[in-house]
Structure 1
Amino acid sequence: MASEITYAEVKFKNESNSSSTYSESAAAPKGKPTPHLSKPGRPSLLFTSLMALFLLLTISFLVAFILYYQKYSQLLEEKKVIKDLTHKELNCKKDNSCPQNKVCSCCPKDWKPFSSHCYFITIDPASYSKSEEKCSSMGAHLMVIHSQEEQDFITKILDPKFAYYIGLLDPGRRQWRWVDQTPYNENAKFWHSGEPNGNDEQCVIINHRNSGWGWNDVRCNVEQKSVCQMKKIYL
């Protein structure tokens, strides 16, 4: 009996040891650290920077292309206007700066040349805005006067029985401005005596009085003749 008990105890101990060893072996894989895997599809910092740079370059190229296209279209339009203005007939003359056998400065037919500009006197009276529109449709603008010589030139070919719009107006607060954005001389001496004299008279005509030719401010809706001006065409 004593030997049997001993055998049973030994057997139980052996089985207990085996069971413990198996449990430790089975649990062992759970203790192994698993490597950290980065999420697929996440771009690196370098790739993001390259994409941003590419996008910036693309936008810059598109902006430059649009600006170039607008400038090119404007140039074509200006050439078309000049072509239309000639009416297939130009009055040209050669000056000292022209190369030999070359014609330099031209004005459309019925336009009067003076210095570097051409001048056209309209026949039909119109308001200031309509007068400027008519000049603009011919590639010109209402006349801008900066010198006594230019004033004397134009008055010699104007009819003293009429008044003519020029390109001077007051946008407000008696701040006179030329239509071509050139500076206005505050000390201009072309005004008639006592002019300008009306806050509601924001446009300017050139007309003849007993004292001679001079400027006079008028309401812009008054219909008058006008003088258009454009730069000479150089060939």
Structure 2
Amino acid sequence: MDIAEDIYTNIEEVSFKGWDDLTAGYATLHMGPQDGTRLKSGNENSQPSRLATLSLGLLCVLLLATVISLSVHYHKKHNQLSRLQISYNNLTEQEQKYQNTVSEQENKISEMQILFNNLTDENHKLQNKISKKECCFQDWRSFLSGCYYLSLVGKTWSESREDCKDRGADLVIINSREEQVFLNQLGNNLHYWIGLTDSEKEGTWRWVDGTTPPTPQFWRQGEPNNAHEDENCVVFNSFTNSLGNIWSWNDQPCSLKTNWVCEYTLTSS
């Protein structure tokens, strides 16, 4: 190789080396600080990036699980609320029915109260009439101005009179033939106490109101006879004689237990 070729070759090597150096210098001059950091730490940051990605994945899984759990919890609560709403609606319906029933019962009670008040008023009026003896008691029979009660059991003369007094009356006093006939119609083949006695004085007959002598008198034939020496009270013997035999009284021991007739007199209203 001659001297000229050798010089040319050296120049060419120097030229290319210089160009490479210039290119490298230019790149170095225009490279920022972060570019340098990435070049130095690229391999060093690859491990934290993977950890960050894994953590982000785990966080997503946790969030998904939380969302699913909340969704299940919400549906349970929603079902519970639905059942509670149904129960509430049923209770409301039952309460309405109960209120309707209570209203109906209150209306019935009000009607019954009105009826009771009316009956009470009627009873008071009736009691006033009875206390004034303007009408006969229940189960009593009326004749002219009197009311009469025939007992269904037997007691002594004194017990019978006490019963009559408890009823606001006394043993019957017979003042007329018509009354004698009426008493005979109370029943057939009966005998009952009347308000006539000679207990205070033998042979002196008095009605329970103290009047004497009794007028008129309807003694049976041969009566009074004091057959047992203690026949001081009088019984009435009913008769069925079509001939109109009204003589039916006879004296008996006052301890005899038989039926009796009570009487009270009506007053004008």
- SS of the aligned residue for 1:107 comes to coil
Aligned Cα root-mean-square deviation (Å): 2.5
In 1, the alpha carbon distance for the partners of 2:240 and 2:142 equals 28
Match of 1:135 in 2: 164
Which runs of structure 1 show a deviation greater than 6 angstroms over 4 or more consecutive aligned residues?
Answer: none
Unaligned runs of 5+ in 1: 1-85, 93-103
- SS of the aligned residue for 2:136 comes to strand
**CA deviation map 1:157-203 (0-9, x unaligned):** 2x2232110000002221000001233236x4411111001142000
Q: Taking every aligned residue pair, what percent have the same amino acid on both sides? A: 38
The 5 A counterparts of 1:1-235 are: 105-157=134-186, 159-170=187-198, 171-185=200-214, 188-198=216-226, 199-208=229-238, 212-213=245-246, 214-235=248-269
Contact 2:150 2:259 in 1 (8 A): yes
In 2, the alpha carbon distance for the partners of 1:146 and 1:172 equals 22
Shift of 1:147: 0.6
Match of 1:9 in 2: none
Shift of 1:208: 3.4
Q: Summarize the Cα distance change of 1:139–1:227 in structure 2 as closer, same or farther, 3 Å threshold.
A: same
**CA deviation map 1:43-81 (0-9, x unaligned):** xxxxxxxxxxxxxxxxxxxxxxxxxxxxxxxxxxxxxxx
In 2, the alpha carbon distance for the partners of 1:118 and 1:182 equals 20
Structure with the largest fraction of helix: 2
Shift of 1:233: 4.9
Q: Summarize the Cα distance change of 1:110–1:233 in structure 2 as closer, same or farther, 3 Å threshold.
A: farther
Match of 1:28 in 2: none
In the superposition, the TM-score normalised over structure 1's length comes to: 0.52
In 2, the alpha carbon distance for the partners of 1:207 and 1:89 equals 34
Shift of 1:120: 0.6
- SS of the aligned residue for 1:119 comes to strand
In 2, the alpha carbon distance for the partners of 1:173 and 1:216 equals 15
Q: Summarize the Cα distance change of 1:208–1:87 in structure 2 as closer, same or farther, 3 Å threshold.
A: farther
Unaligned runs of 5+ in 2: 1-122
- SS of the aligned residue for 2:195 comes to strand
Contact 1:107 1:233 in 2 (8 A): no
Q: Summarize the Cα distance change of 1:223–1:114 in structure 2 as closer, same or farther, 3 Å threshold.
A: same
Q: Summarize the Cα distance change of 1:88–1:217 in structure 2 as closer, same or farther, 3 Å threshold.
A: farther
In the superposition, the TM-score normalised over structure 2's length comes to: 0.46
Q: Of the two, which has the highest radius of gyration?
A: 2
Contact 1:126 1:222 in 2 (8 A): yes
Query: How many residue pairs are counted as aligned between the two chains?
Result: 136
